[in-house]
Amino acid sequence: MNRRDFLATGTTLTAAAALPTFTTDLHAHTAPTAMTETTAASDAPRATRKILIAGGGFRTKFIGLMAQLSGKPRARVCFLPTASADSESGIIAFYQNCAPLNVEPFVQRSFIESLSQTQGWDEVLLSMDAIVVSGGNTLNQQAIWKAQGIDVVLREAWNRGIVLGGASAGSLCWFDEGTTDSRPKALSIVKCLGFLKGSHSPHYDAEPGRRPLYQKLIASGEMQPGYACDNDAGLYFEDTTVKRVVATRQGAKCYYVSAANGVVTEKVLEPEQI
């Protein structure tokens, strides 16, 4: 429908017809109109929910593991590069990482307009077997997802058993909170989707400020205990339980970081190589 037809049609609608209502819980954001059928589907029995993260370096081997976890012979894998402002170089790298794999790669940009984006977020993302979230600015990613209702669709995807994952902003986004470089001057705390409880720190071995800040915040009680991942190391969660610890580089590790009486404990989680 073009803009002239849309305006003409709109003048014939009653206020009740023009403003559909949605039923949401206290933690949900109002969903777009296309989500009404999806919301009803959430009453169905829930599949095993799956998230695969890495501290950094979510390349071919991690995407291949996501495809394997989907259980599909030729998985439909979608790249969601919101945090990188739909970076073209990141999109090209995603296709390159998928090239050796038996998958169907897709990209869903967030910086779109309705003339060319003719399917809703739910129509695209819920048709996938796996969704890879890019690195980048986590704070901006969260703001855009919430404004667009993408956060609601991702929760539905998780509940349906679509494999979610990514590194950096693509790992941090699934937790309650974590450390981010999304603001000027210094690392800070960012609040995220809360699919996985607790906190997260990516790039644990790659950026000098990450480890001391994460431990300081947990020791002081400013941040919940949680998981830290070196670059090239990651965790696979089923529902909210860690099922596998994996790495694509020797020496890369994951950690569970907690504190008691202000004293930090860093438990090493040794990975299997993939």
> With helix as H, strand as E and coil as C, how does the chain read?
CCHHHHHHHHCCCCHHHHCCCCCCCCCCCCCCHHHHHHHHHCCCCCCCCEEEEECCCCCHHHHHHHHHHHCCCCEEEEEECHHHCCCHHHHHHHHHHHCCCCEEEEECCCCCCCCCCCCCHHHHHCCCCEEEECCCCHHHHHHHHHHHCHHHHHHHHHHCCCEEEEECHHHHCCEEEEEECCCCCCCEEEECCCCEEEEEECCCCCCCCHHHHHHHHHHHCCCCCEEEECCCEEEEEECCEEEEEEECCCCCCEEEEEEECCEEEEEEECCEEC
Q: Is the pLDDT score of 227 beyond 50?
A: yes
- Sequence-distant (6+) residues with CB within 8 A of 207 are 181
In angstroms, rounded to a whole number, what is the distance separating the alpha carbons of residues 56 and 233? 7
Distance separating alpha carbons of residues 13 and 159, to the nearest angstrom: 35
- Mean of pLDDT values over 23-39: 35
DSSP-assigned beta bridge partners for residue 76: 104
* Residue 15 contacts residue 164 (beta carbons within 8 Å): no
| pLDDT confidence of residue 40 | 39
Q: Find the catalytic residue in 70, 110, 168, 171.
A: 168
Mean pLDDT score across all residues of the chain:
86
The C-alpha atoms of residue 167 and residue 174 are separated, in whole angstroms, by: 11
Q: Which residues, including other chains, have CB under 8 Å from residue 188's CB and lie 6 or more apart?
A: 179, 180, 182
Question: What's the rounded Cα separation, in Å, for the pair 131 and 113?
Answer: 21
Q: Would you put residue 168 in left (φ > 0), alpha (ψ -120 to 50) or beta?
A: left
pLDDT reported for residue 207 = 86
pLDDT at residue 114, rounded to an integer: 87
By percentage, how much of the chain surpasses pLDDT 70? 84
Mean pLDDT of 242-253: 97
pLDDT at 44: 55
Q: Residue 20: what pLDDT?
A: 30
Residue with tokens 């996938």: 128
The pLDDT value given to residue 11: 35
Q: Is 203 a catalytic residue?
A: yes
Q: Are strands 254-260 and 263-269 parallel, antiparallel or unpaired?
A: antiparallel
Q: What is the pLDDT of residue 31?
A: 34
| 134 is an active site residue | no
pLDDT at 42 over 80: no
pLDDT of residue 43: 54
Q: Quick one: pLDDT at residue 27?
A: 31
Pick the CATH number of 44-273 from 3.20.20.140, 3.40.30.10, 3.40.50.880, 3.30.565.10: 3.40.50.880
- With a cut of 80, say whether residue 47 has pLDDT above it: yes
pTM of the model: 0.82
**Of residues 28 and 111, which shows the higher confidence score?**
111
Domains in the chain: boundaries: 44-273
Identify the pLDDT of residue 64. 98
**156-213 confidence digits (pLDDT tens):** 999 999 999 999 999 999 999 998 888 888 787 889 999 999 999 999 998 888 899 9
Amino acid at 48: T
